[in-house]
Structure 1
C-alpha cells in the first residue's frame, strides 16, 4: 500500500523500518573506559597497601578495541607478577562485560612499592 501526501496528492514511498542496531553509532569516551579499568584494577588489588594511591588508567579506544595502561602501587614483599596478571585479567573481563570492547593490551606500570611494616615496629614518627 502506498501512502498519499494529503497536501499535494502525490504518492510517498512506504516507510522502511531500520533495525535498532543500524540506526546510529555509539561512541564511548576514553575517560569512561579509563574509569572502568581503574575500578577493575582496584577490585583485583583489594585491599590496597596502607598509604597507596588508588590505581588510575589511561586508555586509547579505536573502533571496537581499547588499549589500556594501568598505573598502580603495590605492597612489598609480595608476588608482583601474579598481582599484575590479576589486574590484567580483571580489566579485560570488566571492560568486555560492561562495554563490549576487546582489550588486546593491558600495560601495567608499577609506580611505587610500599614495604610492609616490620612486626612490632613502632608506627608513626619517633621524636
Structure 2
C-alpha cells in the first residue's frame, strides 16, 4: 500500500465562500407575519396585512398595507407595526430596514352595522 501525502487545506475567508440570498417573497412573508404579530386582535372582516419590499443587499425597504379597527390609536398601531417589522427582519433575515411605510387601507367600525351609533 502506498501512502498519500496529506492535502494542504487553505482556509478560505468567509467573504469569499459565497453568499446567502433571501428571496424578496420571503422578506415579504416575514414582514406580513410581523405586522400580524404587532396588531391588536384584528377586527371582524379585516384582510391580512400584505407587503411589498425592495431589497438591496442586506437592506430592505418595506411598504405594508393593514386594516384596523375603529376607533383605535392609528398612529400607535402603525408605529407598532413598523417596529415589529424592523425587529423581525433584523432577527430572522439579518437585514437592516431603513424605511417601513405603513398604509392604513381600511378602518373597520366596531359595534352595530346599522350605520348609526349613539
TM-score (norm 1): 0.79
Q: CA deviation at 1:47?
A: 1.2
Unmatched segments (≥5 aa) in structure 1: 5-11, 123-127
1:45 aligns with 2:68: no
Quote how far apart the aligned CAs of 1:64 are: 1.2
Structure 2 partner of 1:9: none
Give 1:92 deviation, angstroms. Answer: 0.4
Give the TM-score of the pair, scaled to structure 2: 0.85
Q: How many residues align?
A: 110
Which structure would you say has the larger RCO, counting Cα contacts within 8 Å and 6 or more residues apart?
2
Greater Cα radius of gyration, structure 1 or 2: 1
Q: Deviations over 1:59-109 (max 9, x none)?
A: 111011000000110001111000000000000000001111000000001
The ranges of structure 1 where at least 4 consecutive aligned residues each deviate by more than 4 angstroms after the TM superposition are: none
User: Which of 91, 99, 111 matches 2:85?
Assistant: 91
For structure 2, the 5+ residue unaligned runs are none
RMSD: 2.0
* Residue in 1 that maps onto 2:111: 117
